[in-house]
Structure 1
Amino acid sequence: MSWDLFLAKKYLRNPAKRGIRLVLRLAVLGVALGVATLSLTQAVMNGFERVFRESILGFNAHLVVLKDGEMADPAGEEKAILGQISGEALAATPFLYREVLLVAHGRVKGAVFKGIDPLTFARVYAVKTRRAGGAQVPAKIEELLKGEGETPNVVLGEDLAEELGITGPDETLKVFLPKKSAGTAEKNFQSFKVAGIFQTGLYEFDRGFAFVDLGRMQGILESPGLATGIEMKLKRPLDADALALDLKQSLGPGYEAVSWQRLNGPLFSALRNERLMFLIIMAMVVAVASFNIVGVLLLMIFDRSREISILRALGAPNRGVQRLFGYQGLAIGALGSVLGVALAAGLGRFVQRSGVLKLEKEVYLIERLPVAWSPSVLAATAGVSLAIALLATWVAVRRLKHNRLDL
């Protein structure tokens, strides 16, 4: 072990004065808190992005093709579309959109009715569904929508059902769904039986949508065979933008191809901007905490001035004396970084398991604060904090130059 490293360890373990020991501990604590704040902030932003992406891909298809005036022959359109993308799609399903008003228990709510083919829908989507009522019994969507009676079945979003006061199984609600031949507003109301509930985890979806059988919805609208568009699940979801552009060009005018990235672009753009903003702010916090190292090292240099003079009298080179205190600054930064990452991991785990931090679904779209750890982000955070600590150390040890104490 070199003499400078040996003395650095000795000085850290046994500061000459008790006050310096306290300042040393406070410097380590400051770095640790800064690193913990930065790490936890980035983990939360990762969590938001992961939850939103999973929920969006669970409720939105990777690629949607629409046609002006809707599609009169969705089966033929689907075959033509799949032929254009050369096996890139794993599955496809037609759908029919209508904005409606729902009435139950004296409450009126607006929502979107989505007519789906239950069999092909399950191949494209991974939406969690259960039977209506308090039993929380999972059920496939094709089972929930297969009702053969006069009153068609509907599967409501969890928050939509809650706002309508739907709590029991097989409750009935009225839906204002405009028909071609209806002469009065009363004839546009159709009764539906609430057979199931779906949950995506995002308030925007769970509050705003309901699923019905496509064939039953076409019959109610007196528009057999009609569809709004075709939704597809892709082998490579990240290629959806490029495929959408190719499809739009090959299908020609009157068609629109929309990828999940484009549909949700503003949300992910806002998340990226917020992540960058928080990164800059928290990095400044770490920088302020790390520059406490400058003050600590200057105090230690001043306190050890006699020892430094003796070392130089014995022939110790100036660079060796600088390394002596540089090692101490690096140790403070490294220890603070390790403690900060450990503190952030502990706090994040506690938040995840306890659920103490509840969010307003209407504002944040989700109920719990999400935390998602990324090894690369943790490593980058620790690396940034160490780099700042090294800079602070360099500022301090530059005072030891020209074979004299420049204090």
Structure 2
Amino acid sequence: MTLIVVLSVMNGFDQELRSRIRGTLAHIIILKGGMYGLEDYKQVIEKVKTFEHVTACAPYVEGPALIKLRNRKEFVYFKGIDPDAEASVGDFTSYITPFGNQPEDLLKTHGEKNTGSVFGGSELFRVGPGEPEKDPGSFIQNGEQIVLVTLKEWDKISVKAFVVVGKFKSGMYDFDKNYVYIPLTVAQELTGSKGKDAVTGISIKLDDYRYANQVRDKLQAALGIEYYVQTWEDARKTFLTAVMMERRVMAFILFFIIVVAGFNILAILTMIVLEKSKDIGILKALGATTQGIMSIFLLNGLLIGSIGASIGTAAGLSIVLRINWIENALYHMTGWRPFPPEVYYFNQIPTVVNPTSIVFTAAIAIASSVVFSIYPALRAARLDPVETLRYE
């Protein structure tokens, strides 16, 4: 049960994390030295589009900023994008459509000063409890004004107002809490890179991610060493490696629960052999074979393992299928959240039920029960009926 629950959650966490990161980054990213170092990005995009498997490209400007929301100030990251191009390389459209927005809404201007538009993360715009789709009053409303303060050309401060036209929700808490989308040209003005027509990087989408490493290497060779070409997995390699190692170590440690259970079975069957030694002696005196006595205890271990594995599998699947309900119930009763979203990035506990791993886990549990039954079975089979019944 424990292995099934933990492995299902860890597999779900790994799969969902990869999906969410991929949605916010794109298959391949091209960068250059400096935060806004890609001054020739249009030529680079034209060159990149000639490569096999490349289906779309999108430039972006990204950097840190101080944001003023109503009466509070926070540090965030802004991402200046061409909304249509961004929608073609990632999941941008799916992040905003639940709130009735389209990518082109980001290009709207407001008032006589042509104030730019902004999409903000749902968690960043939160002012009260609730879900953004069901409780819009708990979030900063469309039409409100916010202010971004950024560095300009490394030695100046740039201050610009924006009008909120919508929210986005990627489902990844860290991204929804710390990012805003603004138009690409406005971001270039904020950073002082508009005169150079420079961007931070270029996002690339492929027709099949299986070719990512191959395309990355070809792009790196064609563009030269002053460019940094990486897949989204390269960009988050340390984090993804840590998650993978945690999953493997967790499975290895929890496997010893089965080993401990196996020693319990060994102890129980050994005690049964001692308790039933007279009965075993009578059976052997009546003609029971060594193999027959041994098979009785091996069958006993097999039944213990099979019944225990069946109950554990059923209990584990029941918990996995209702794990978010259980977490919510615990939170409402105790105020303690076992899976805090600000730590684990997700608003719900992700789970993936892998039939192969469940069958493998159950098979290991049953096999362990049989293996740990061998010693007491041998001990029972080797009992001498004469010695056993001498004093009866």
> TM-score with structure 1 length normalisation?
0.81
Equivalent AA in structure 2 for residue 146 of structure 1:
K
Q: What residue in structure 2 maps to residue 248 of structure 1?
A: 220
Q: 5 Å matches for 1:131-150? A: 137-147=99-109, 150=114
Q: 1:129 to 1:144 in 2, by over 3 A?
A: farther
1:160 and 2:124 correspond? yes
Match of 2:48 among 74, 77, 81: 81
1:375 and 2:355 correspond? yes
Q: 1:152 to 1:322 in 2, by over 3 A?
A: same
**Residue 367 of structure 1: CA displacement?**
2.9
Structure 1: gaps spanning 5 or more residues: 1-35
Q: 1:204 to 1:168 in 2, by over 3 A?
A: same
**1:355, 1:170 → 2: CA distance?**
36
**Residue 110 of structure 1: CA displacement?**
1.5
Of 199-208 and 143-152, more deviation after overlay is shown by 143-152
**Residue 307 of structure 1: CA displacement?**
3.5
Q: 5 Å matches for 1:49-88? A: 49-69=14-34, 70-83=37-50, 85-86=51-52, 88=53
Of 105-114 and 237-246, more deviation after overlay is shown by 237-246
**1:294, 1:183 → 2: CA distance?**
73
Match of 2:171 among 178, 187, 201: 201
**Residue 94 of structure 1: CA displacement?**
1.1
Q: What residue in structure 1 maps to residue 83 of structure 2?
A: 118
CA RMSD of aligned residues (A): 2.6
Q: 1:89 to 1:355 in 2, by over 3 A?
A: farther
Of 246-255 and 328-337, more deviation after overlay is shown by 246-255
Q: 1:255 to 1:166 in 2, by over 3 A?
A: same
Identity percentage over the alignment? 27
Structure 2: gaps spanning 5 or more residues: 129-137, 331-336
Equivalent AA in structure 2 for residue 258 of structure 1:
Q
Q: What residue in structure 2 maps to residue 291 of structure 1?
A: 263
Q: 1:166 to 1:176 in 2, by over 3 A?
A: farther
Q: Quick check: 1:129–1:140 contact (8 Å CA) kept in 2?
A: no
Q: 1:148 to 1:260 in 2, by over 3 A?
A: same
Q: 1:146 to 1:287 in 2, by over 3 A?
A: same
Q: What residue in structure 2 maps to residue 342 of structure 1?
A: 314
Equivalent AA in structure 2 for residue 286 of structure 1:
I
1:395 and 2:375 correspond? yes
C-alpha offsets along residues 268-311 of structure 1, whole Å, 9 cap, x if unaligned? 21122222222222211222123222233223333433442333
Match of 2:343 among 363, 371, 381: 363
Q: Quick check: 1:318–1:403 contact (8 Å CA) kept in 2?
A: no
Q: Quick check: 2:265–2:369 contact (8 Å CA) kept in 1?
A: yes
Q: Quick check: 2:185–2:194 contact (8 Å CA) kept in 1?
A: no
Q: Secondary structure at the match of 2:26?
A: coil
Q: What residue in structure 1 maps to residue 95 of structure 2?
A: 129
Q: What residue in structure 2 maps to residue 44 of structure 1?
A: 9
**1:59, 1:183 → 2: CA distance?**
30
Q: 1:166 to 1:172 in 2, by over 3 A?
A: farther
Of 191-200 and 228-237, more deviation after overlay is shown by 228-237
Q: Quick check: 1:352–1:371 contact (8 Å CA) kept in 2?
A: no
Q: Secondary structure at the match of 1:115?
A: strand
**Residue 400 of structure 1: CA displacement?**
2.7
**1:243, 1:41 → 2: CA distance?**
36
**2:48, 2:359 → 1: CA distance?**
45
**Residue 341 of structure 1: CA displacement?**
0.6
**2:193, 2:295 → 1: CA distance?**
84
Q: 1:157 to 1:137 in 2, by over 3 A?
A: closer
Q: Secondary structure at the match of 2:175?
A: helix
**Residue 313 of structure 1: CA displacement?**
2.8
Q: What residue in structure 2 maps to residue 190 of structure 1?
A: 160
Q: Secondary structure at the match of 1:169?
A: coil
Equivalent AA in structure 2 for residue 316 of structure 1:
A
**Residue 259 of structure 1: CA displacement?**
1.0
Equivalent AA in structure 2 for residue 202 of structure 1:
M
Equivalent AA in structure 1 for residue 68 of structure 2:
V
Q: Secondary structure at the match of 2:288?
A: coil
